[in-house]
């Protein structure tokens, strides 16, 4: 590992940290150490990181703002590549926006609404980055990323970097080709929005934001929605109807506000969260014969 660190530092690719606790980088404040945490300072640096990682046969994982993520208490083998503000540039050309993967989705939605552009109102309370949102086709309030994305700039494992169209991203409910067939890192995205009434757009944004504040426990560390909606049912409603609100194991607790959120009520471990998830799965299947699937990504050492 020392040799890899020296190589990364020699190319001045950005920040490199060894055995860095990932609890510092996830919204639920849980996660053991990564062998390496790398924060590239540019797209060119990111390409070099992938080249070095592949040359050393090092496993890797990209993260953004750490939402929708549950990292094992034992941490992660290999390199965790964190895409931050350095990869967060924005270019606006009429109703088309080119934005870097590290940009905050909430900040983007807020900025765009003030310019009278519509299409991102659904994202007003989604706490992730643009890259993560594209990767998982994030959505809310009846819309999602697939409705507005024109194309995405992707760095693949083999070092190739190419633009994929909306169709090539193979979007479906909370997923994309990057999860299903071709592992890669979202570098940039181009969104096409529509011009609208600025006051109406801002009002819609505020309504969505207020709804989230009233119904979701963002005053506690959490990872966002834990389960995918088993349509036509809704995960939160099933969990609430099963009487599971407030159920806890260790420091992990099903929110009293929303059944599809597990909060870190104090020193929760990934093991605690996984035990709560399993209890929900077992209970919902016993009551309704419905198999619950997680939306939150569970990664790291077993």
Q: Are 297 and 68 contacting, i.e. CB atoms less than 8 angstroms apart? A: yes
Q: What is the pLDDT of residue 212?
A: 84
- Selection from 78, 55, 43 nearest residue 158 by Cα: 55
- Strands 117-118, 262-264: pairing is unpaired
CATH of 217-299, one of 3.90.78.10, 3.30.750.24, 3.40.50.2300, 3.40.50.880: 3.90.78.10
Query: Would you write out the chain's pLDDT as a tens digit for each of its 302 residues?
Result: 889 999 999 999 999 999 999 999 999 999 999 999 999 999 999 999 999 999 999 999 999 999 999 999 999 999 999 999 899 999 999 999 999 999 999 999 999 999 999 999 999 888 889 999 999 999 988 899 999 999 999 999 999 999 999 999 999 988 999 987 899 999 999 999 999 999 999 999 888 888 888 889 988 999 999 999 999 999 999 999 999 999 999 999 999 999 999 999 999 999 999 999 999 999 999 999 999 999 999 999 98
User: Over the chain, what HEC string results?
Assistant: CHHHHHHHHHCCCEEEEEEEEHHHCCCCCCCCEEEEEEEECCHHHHHHHHHHHHHCCCCEEEECCCCCEEECCCCEEEEEEECCHHHCCEEEECCEEEEECCCEHHHHHHHHHHCCEECCHHHCCCCCEHHHHHHHCCEECCEEHHHCEEEEEEEECCCCEEEEECCCCCCECCECHHHHCCCEEEEEEEEECEECCHHHHHHHHHHHHHHHHHHCCCCCCECCCCECCCCCCCHHHHHHHCCCCCCEECCEEECCCCCCCEEECCCCCHHHHHHHHHHHHHHHHHHHCCCCCECCEEECCC
Q: What is the pLDDT of residue 113?
A: 92
Class of domain 2-82: alpha beta
Identical fold for domains 2-82 and 217-299, yes or no, is: no
Enumerate the domain spans of the chain.
2-82, 88-214, 217-299
Fold of the CATH domain 88-214: 3.30.465
pLDDT per residue as tens digits for the range 250-295: 999 999 999 999 999 999 999 999 999 999 999 999 999 999 999 9
Residue where the block lists tokens 């819309």: 143
Beta-carbon contacts of residue 243 (< 8 Å; ≥ 6 apart): none
Residues with a known catalytic role: 174, 225, 295
Looking at the DSSP bridge assignments, the partners of residue 143 are: 140
């Amino acid at each position: 590992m020392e040799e890899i660190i020296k190589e990364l530092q020699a190319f001045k690719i950005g920040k490199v940290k060894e055995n860095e606790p990932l609890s510092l980088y996830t919204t639920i404040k849980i996660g053991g150490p990564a062998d390496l945490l790398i924060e590239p300072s540019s797209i060119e640096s990111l390409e070099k990181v992938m080249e070095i990682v592949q040359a050393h046969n090092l496993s890797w994982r990209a993260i953004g703002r750490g939402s929708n993520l549950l990292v094992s208490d034992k941490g992660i083998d290999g390199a965790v590549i964190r895409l931050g503000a350095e990869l967060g540039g924005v270019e606006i050309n009429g109703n088309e926006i080119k934005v870097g993967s590290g940009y905050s989705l909430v900040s983007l939605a807020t900025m765009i609404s003030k310019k009278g552009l519509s299409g991102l109102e659904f994202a007003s309370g989604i706490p992730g980055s643009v890259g993560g949102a594209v990767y998982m086709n994030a959505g809310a309030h009846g819309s999602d990323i697939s409705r507005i994305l024109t194309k995405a700039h992707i760095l693949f494992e083999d070092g190739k970097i190419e633009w994929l169209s909306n169709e090539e991203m193979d979007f479906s409910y909370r997923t994309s080709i990057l999860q299903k067939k071709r592992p890669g890192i979202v570098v940039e995205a181009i969104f096409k929005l529509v011009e609208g009434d600025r006051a109406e757009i801002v009002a819609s944004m505020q309504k969505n934001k207020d709804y989230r504040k009233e119904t979701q426990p963002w005053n506690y560390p959490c990872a966002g929605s834990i389960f995918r909606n088993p349509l036509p049912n809704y995960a939160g409603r099933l969990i609430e109807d099963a009487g599971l609100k407030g159920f806890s194991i260790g420091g992990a607790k099903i929110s009293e506000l929303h059944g599809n959120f597990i909060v870190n009520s104090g020193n929760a471990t990934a093991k605690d969260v996984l035990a709560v998830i399993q209890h929900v799965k077992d209970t919902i299947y016993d009551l309704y014969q419905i198999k619950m699937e997680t939306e939150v990504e569970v990664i790291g050492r077993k």
